[in-house]
Amino acid sequence: MALYAIGDLHLSLAGAKPMDVFGDKWYGHTEKLKRGFSELDENDVCILCGDLSWGMSLEESIEDFRFVDSLPGRKIILKGNHDYWWTTASKMKTFFEQNGFRSISILRNNAYIYGDKAICGTRGWFLEEETGSGHDRKIMLREVSRLKTSLEAGGDREKIVFLHYPPIFQNYRCEEILQLLRDYEVKTCCYGHIHGKGCASAFEGWSGGTQFRLISADHIAFQPVRIVD
C-alpha cells in the first residue's frame, strides 16, 4: 500500500473540452493517465488535487467519474477552481452511491487516516489572482477555516496537506495558510493548479519547515507521484 497524489486531470470524456489545445503534453492525456495509474494497485490511495472534470454538473461529469472510478486504488478528491460540478458533500456521496462509484471519497472539512499519518486539505485560494475585494478575502478566510477543521480532524497524527491552489507562487504568499502549516508542523504540502510555462515559476522545496510539491498532471507526466510508502 502506498499514498500517491496528482492534480488537474481536466477530464472531458463527454467531449466538451479537449485539452490538447493547451499544448502538446495534453494530447491523448486520458490514455496517459490510464498508463500512469497502471503503476498503482487496488490497495493504494491517490489524492486528486482538484480540477477533475470540466462538466458543469455531476450528471455532465458522469463519464469522467466513471473513468476515475475504474482506475486502480482508492481516490480521495478535493475541489479545484474549475470543478463547477462540485456541490454539497451529501449530494456527491449520494450521486457516487447511486452510480456505483465506490472508490471515490471526498476531502472537505475532514481528514483521512493513512497509517500513522492524516490526510488533510482543502481547495485554498489565490487572493491576488482575484479582484482583491472583501468578498474574495471572505472566500479565502473560509478556505483557511476549512483547512484548520481538516487539520484538527487529523488529531495527533503527522499531517500531510493537499491543496489545489499553491500557498506560495512567485511573489505571492498566503500567510494565513502558511501559518497553519507551521502551527500544525506539516512537513509535506502538495498542490496543483499551475500548468505549462507557469511550472517553471512554481515553488518546490522547503519553506518554514514544510516541503512543497507541485503535482499538476502535466508537470508530472500524468503519472501519480508517490508521497508515502
Mean pLDDT by 10 residues, the chain (229 residues): 96 78 83 96 97 95 97 98 96 97 98 97 77 72 96 98 95 93 98 92 96 97 96
205: exposed, middle or buried (Cβ count in 10 Å: 0-12, 13-18, 19+): exposed
Question: Where are the extended beta strands (E) located within the chain?
Answer: 3-6, 45-49, 74-78, 104-106, 112-114, 117-122, 158-163, 168-169, 172-173, 188-191, 205-207, 210-214, 225-228
Is residue 213 left, alpha or beta, with left meaning phi > 0 and alpha meaning psi from -120 to 50?
Answer: beta
CB-based contact 122:78 (threshold 8 Å): yes
Q: SS3 letters for 17-77? A: CCHHHHCHHHCCHHHHHHHHHCCCCCCCEEEEECCCECCCCCCCCHHHHHHHHHCCCEEEE
In which residue are the cell numbers 491517490 written? 46
Which one of 3.40.50.300, 3.60.21.10, 3.40.1010.10, 3.90.245.10 gives the CATH number of domain 3-228? Answer: 3.60.21.10
Q: What count of other Cβ atoms lies within 10 Å of the Cβ of residue 116? A: 9
Residue type, position 97, single letter? E
pLDDT of residue 132: 54
Q: Which amino acid is at 13?
A: L
Kindly state the cell numbers that stand for 85. Answer: 460540478
The pLDDT value recorded for residue 179 is: 97
Q: pTM of the full predicted structure?
A: 0.94
Cα distance between residue 121 and residue 188, in whole Å: 11
Report which secondary-structure segment, H or E, holds 176. Answer: helix 175-183
Cβ neighbours of residue 201 closer than 8 Å, sequence gap 6 or more: 169, 170, 194
What's the grid cell of residue 165?
A: 491552489
How confident is the model at residue 190, as a pLDDT?
98
Residues in the chain: 229
